[in-house]
Amino acid sequence: MDRLAGQNTASSRHGRLFAPIEPFDRRRMDRGDGHVLYVEQCGNPDGRPVIVLHGGPGGGCSPVMRRFFDPGHWRIVLFDQRGCGLSTPQASVVANSTPHLLFDIDAIVAALGLGPAVLFGGSWGATLALAYAQARPEAVSALVLRGVFLGRQAELDWFYGGGAGRFWPELWARFIAPIPPEEHGDLIAAYHRRLFSGDPATETRHAIEWMAWENALAGMDCPTPANPPPDYARAFSRLENHYFANGCFLDEGQLLRDRPRIEHLPSIIVQGRYDMVCPPLSAWELARGWDKAELRMVPASGHALTEPRIAAELVRVMQIMAGVD
């Protein structure tokens, strides 16, 4: 969902996105285990580094993600995580876990010669930012998080166990319709069997339904997304389901448990008040008692990166970090 591009124009003082830019560096990084990552850099080669961590898992980056940062100040690093976007092989879950992604970030930092960087991530990107910062606090200078997801079972139960479906019963009915009633007790597992059935038609059909459920709830004030291309839907849904079926490859409650490792880092959390995908409770729990964390609850907003108020607030936050506002 974070790949959905908004149409904001450049006027950072008013929270609008900067003008479109092209990378000054594009490269592919062979990780030696069958995965090849797409990595790009934009903005100022000598600027303060910021690493953009996309959502999903499986969402991939998009050009709109370059536009949250003043290109004269920031050295903007984006990459597609394993199995998605321009990284290959597409939709592969082999050697694809949270520890693998943390090592990938290490490799990118080393290859690009980055000093301590700001981590900018939303949804699953916020999960990954927290996991990386807690594992490598010396490599991080600050965190900017959006739509916080802590990878806990209660959060998965909310979205795939019927909680969100109480607000969107007609969409929930569509999501569960392809699954026999006897499998409704664990929809992540039920979809997993079909997304990894080995039959491309079955996988694609269920991937579209998996993705449609999430996209439909992602935003309050942004256009309803069109049906995604089948290949993209299959990659996104397989990867996301793979991570969720494995508890995001995190210990239950790990990101709150290990918060003391990063409490010295300045952090700003931008959270939509009416986020139906990642409800505000997780952001509030993360920020509570963390002196250097500021929680910015955005009114009349949901989850998507491209929601106007969410996007505007993220631009303002990055301008503050750049010392402009």
pLDDT digits (tens, 9 = 90+) for 6-64: 333 333 445 689 999 999 999 999 999 999 999 999 999 999 999 999 999 999 999 99
For residue 137 the two structure tokens come to 């606090």
Residues in contact with 50: Cβ distance below 8 Å, sequence separation at least 6, in sequence order: 69, 74, 75, 76, 77, 117, 118, 119, 120, 318
- For residues 271 and 283, the answer to whether their CB atoms sit within 8 Å is yes
Q: Is 301 exposed, middle or buried (0-12, 13-18, 19+ CB in 10 A)?
A: buried
Higher pLDDT, 2 or 1: 2
Residue 19 region, left (φ>0) first, then alpha (ψ -120 to 50), else beta? beta
d(CA 81, CA 243): 13
Higher pLDDT, 220 or 211: 211
Q: Is 199 exposed, middle or buried (0-12, 13-18, 19+ CB in 10 A)?
A: exposed
Residue in the block written with tokens 């996104």: 236
Domains of the chain: 12-151+249-321 (3.40.50.1820), 154-247 (no CATH)
Q: Is 228 exposed, middle or buried (0-12, 13-18, 19+ CB in 10 A)?
A: buried
d(CA 169, CA 172): 5
Residue in the block written with tokens 């849904």: 237
Question: Crossing angle for the helix pair 200-218 and 230-245, nearest 10 degrees?
Answer: 80
Q: Quick one: CA dihedral 3, 6, 7, 12, positive or negative?
A: negative
Question: Crossing angle for the helix pair 187-195 and 200-218, nearest 10 degrees?
Answer: 140
Does the structure show a pLDDT above 70 at 114? yes
Q: Quick one: CA dihedral 302, 314, 143, 129, positive or negative?
A: positive
Residues in contact with 81: Cβ distance below 8 Å, sequence separation at least 6, in sequence order: 37, 54, 56, 57, 58, 60, 87, 101, 104, 128, 239
CB atoms within 10 A of CB 113: 7
> Which residue from 191, 208, 239 is spatially nearest to 91, judged by alpha carbons?
239
pLDDT tier for residue 323 given thresholds of 50, 70 and 90: confident
Q: What is the pLDDT of residue 136?
A: 98
Looking at residues 114-143, what average pLDDT do you find? Answer: 98
Percent of the chain with pLDDT over 70: 93
Q: What is the pLDDT of residue 219?
A: 84
pLDDT digits (tens, 9 = 90+) for 155-208: 999 999 999 999 999 999 999 999 999 999 999 999 999 999 999 999 999 999
- For residues 143 and 262, the answer to whether their CB atoms sit within 8 Å is yes
Apex CA 277: angle with CA 245 and CA 74, to 5°? Answer: 100
pLDDT tier for residue 325 given thresholds of 50, 70 and 90: low
Active site residues: 123, 275, 303
